[in-house]
Structure 1
Amino acid sequence: MKITKKFSIGLAVVALIASHFLVNINQPQSIQAAKQVSKGKITFIKNDYLYDKFGHKIKVKRNTSPDPFTTDHQGYKIIYTYEDSDFNYYAINKINGQKYYDLGGGNYVNAAVVKDVNQKDTKKGKLVLANKSLIYTAKGKPTGQSLTQNAIVTYYGKVRPATTMPKYFFYDEDLNKQKQIFYLPTKTISNKQYYALGHNRYLRADNIASIDGHIARYNGVSSATLLATVKTSTLSQHQTDHLLKKGQKIKIDLAVIPRYLDGFEGYSYRLHDYPDEYIDEADITFRNDLPIVDYTALAFNPITPVTGNSIELFDFTGNPSGISIQTTNNNSILIDGLFYLWLPSEHKASLFYHFLNYDNPKLINYQTQQPLKQNDLPNNVVANYSNYFIKASDVKFNNQNKLQIQNTKQQAQNDQVIATNADKSELQKLFMSFENTNKVITQYSDLKANYRNALTNASQVLRSNKTTIAQVNEATWLLETTSKQLISLDFPLGD
């Protein structure tokens, strides 16, 4: 009975409302949500979390956020800044005592990561704090004052360009391969670096997130924590068997711009204790941002001739091969090793780069400088093409990462004695453990050829009774190196 009565009253109310609209049915009706009007555009220093109107990080179902937003492993929303240079903002709000920019849709971003507002630089002369930080005196004593995380303060001093990488620094453009390094001079107090704020106030340099609107970087080793259980990868992003567990602490020492740049989504970080392994930026959280290198700086080492447009090739004994590599327009040639070779004719050891046969350079006759046809190549050049050397004094090394010399001058001389079976044992084990060339899978025929030639070279060295210890050591290095290059230099064709 009560249900029937309530239902009847409800119908009556609906009828009254309907009659009101029927009277005005011919009058135009417009019901529209209020549209936010942009106050201008802002750019960001780096990716950062998005917050709600209460200052809480926004959590959503993972991978459901539309571009330019994305999510971390826990589903928290992040503003993605690498492909879009600027974003509209609709208001400026104070949340928990800090400034936030309203990006619309209930998304707010902390002003600490905002660089330009309507093309005006808001971070010139400013430091932004990555963590809550105490303020110290010039003697390293706490003043009793502190600054909160994301606090923005004016520094004392002048930013300077750097010719070598300081301990604390920043780049003018992070993704620019020709990066200019700048730094803000620090004061050393009790073996720690501090930035000056003036009036006898200092902040620890390792607590700074950005300087002048650029990410502050640390030339050292940083701690990182795994956000998910994942396996590490090689430089070319081939997965390894090394499993890292969620919550595990690791050390990282380098940020690498990966080869895949169709849409840059973050750096690969090198593991300090496993220098051939890398972890994706999305899989870790870390304390300090690190120096950046491009993938090619680690994968390839280019050289150019000191003079002329060709580079002469030598064999392992330091004798001229009779051929050169043409370097029209001063093009780079790739090398992958650095050795002292003993030169009997000169009775001394000299530095030579090991030539990396990767990009099929044009061979020419050293004497005539004319192109060589395959049939004109000197004996054994085809078989040993991937084991030739370039005199270090003939070329300029064009890479910031110096190669490690594989031996010393004294070792080059001492290792000219005939190798015993015991001296060959390591190479023998290595040779027997390596796979048949036909089983090798790679997109690049030259990588496979280099590996095959390394196996052939090792076989010859093992069989010969005139092999020197130096040849055994070099054959071992070559086999290990060409094997590693099969996965470290291999990429899908067309990438």
Structure 2
Amino acid sequence: MNLHKKLLTITSTLAFILPITVSNKIYAADSVVTKTLMHNSAVYNKSGEATGEAYAAYQNIEFYSKPVKIKGQQYYRISYENNYIKLSNIDGVKRKVTANSYVYASSVKRANKRLIRKGSTITTYGGSYKFKNGKRYYRIGGPKKQYVKVANLSKSADEVAVPAKEEVATATVTSKLASIYTGTGKNGQELKVVKKKLKVGSKFTVDRFSNTPFSNWFPSTQYGDAPMYRIKGTNNWLHYADVKVNKELELHSFDLEHSSRIKFIKDTDIYNADGTMQDHQGQKIAKQGGSLKVDKLVYLWVPSEQKAELFYHPVAQRMYATSKGSSDIIELHNGYVKASDVKFNMGLKLIPGNTPQEAKVAYDKLIISKKANQQSVITEDK
């Protein structure tokens, strides 16, 4: 496929979309690598506390390659963010097989005819699952369902699986104007030149080909929004037009691999975090042609319906509105939209950060808190 055609596969979104604010601290000595999540994964902050966000299994995510220990557990830090995912959900851990074991797809169905012999070693991913038969199983592969009984594996898990070999290529400088670039500022989006006027014929080992967060900072008359080759072992990049590679690497999109997007397929109401509908004098979010970023998928208890429903939290806080009002822009006020009112479009598929039961408990606590505050105000007035 022609490279320029590839560059047209990623489309931009509305001008009102705001970026997620994340830490921009980059460790120069730590390279960025792409790893596949092998287990549904909660996202943790630097203190080891769950953020409420999560990724579904088999997503490709960029991480800093050096693991970080938080409260005795190993994590990988997500690139360009100060968030973390447990290492065991990614690299897995090696366990000894203590009894001949079949591979299962469910509690009553085998995944295949494979028999794993006692004494062999296998890699398991993440925590165990409890099946309907009451027994626990570890995931051992995918994306097809493959599980082995926990009871047939060693309890200790102190060996980390060896990460897969990285794909690399050699990039040769072909332009007298070639430079080395890196990203700074919010979300690593601002362009910074590390070294100018590289010598033609200089060679670099590169391990990723991607539309970086700072790609669109190049003047449109020069390069426009175009991909870069990452120099292995660094967070520095070479522009594709300045080099020639000895083999083609897969083209990645930083934006799509680090965000989720929805489409507004109809005029849509906005809800508060307490499940109540916002009052916009008849206006709603208008049906949109483009896709918009969301950063959460959660259950909220909807008191008017007396049930929990799934909601997306849009990153943008200003969107086009229906024409039933004085302005064509509507403010979301940190609002949510029902998942049933929109359509998932592209990027990472989010999984709910809570359960319907947890949403009901959170709502009940909020009501109790509101009543206590109202009682306090009445007491003070007396």
Question: Shorter-chain TM-score category?
Answer: 0.3 to 0.5
- Structure number with greater CO (CA < 8 Å, separation at least 6) is 2
More helix by share: 1
The two structures have a TM-score, normalised by structure 1, of 0.29
The two structures have a TM-score, normalised by structure 2, of 0.36
